[in-house]
Chains A and B, each alone.
Chain A
Amino acid sequence: MADSNKENLRQAALAYHEFPKPGKLEIRATKPLANGRDLARAYSPGVAEACLEILADPATASRYTARANLVAVVTNGTAVLGLGDIGALAAKPVMEGKAVLFKKFAGIDCFDIELNERDPERLADIVCALEPSFGAINLEDIKAPDCFIVERICRERMNIPVFHDDQHGTAIVVGAAATNALHVAGKSFREIKVVSTGGGAAGIACLNLLLKLGVRRENVWLCDIHGLVHEGRETDMTPQKAAFAQKTDLRTLDQVIDGADLFLGLSGPDVLTPEQVARMARRPIVFALANPEPEIMPDAARAAAPDAIIATGRSDFPNQVNNVLCFPFIFRGALDVGATEINDAMQIACVEGIAELARATTSAEAATIYKGEQLTFGADYLIPKPFDPRLSGIVSFAVAQAAMETGVATRPIEDLAAYKRNLDASVYRSALVMRPVFEAAATASRRIVFAEGEDERVLRAAQAILEETTDTPILIGRPEVITSRCERLGLQIRPERDFNIVNPESDPRYRDYWGTYHDIMKRRGVSPDLARAVMRTNSTVIGAVMVHRNEADSLICGTFGEFRWHLKHVTRCWAAKRSIPWSAVADHPRGRPALHRRHPCARPPQPRGTRRDRHRRGAPCAPLRHRAQGRALLAVAVRQPGQRFGQTRARGGRDPRRAAARFRL
Chain B
Amino acid sequence: MTIDELRAKAAQRQQTCSQIKKMIVSRLDLEIEPGWITDDQPLFGRGLELDSLDVLELYVAIEAEFGVALYDSDMAVFGSVSRLADEVDPTLRAPA
Partners in one complex: no
Query: Which A residues are within 8 Å of any B CB, using their own CB?
Result: none
Query: Which B residues are within 8 Å of any A CB, using their own CB?
Result: none
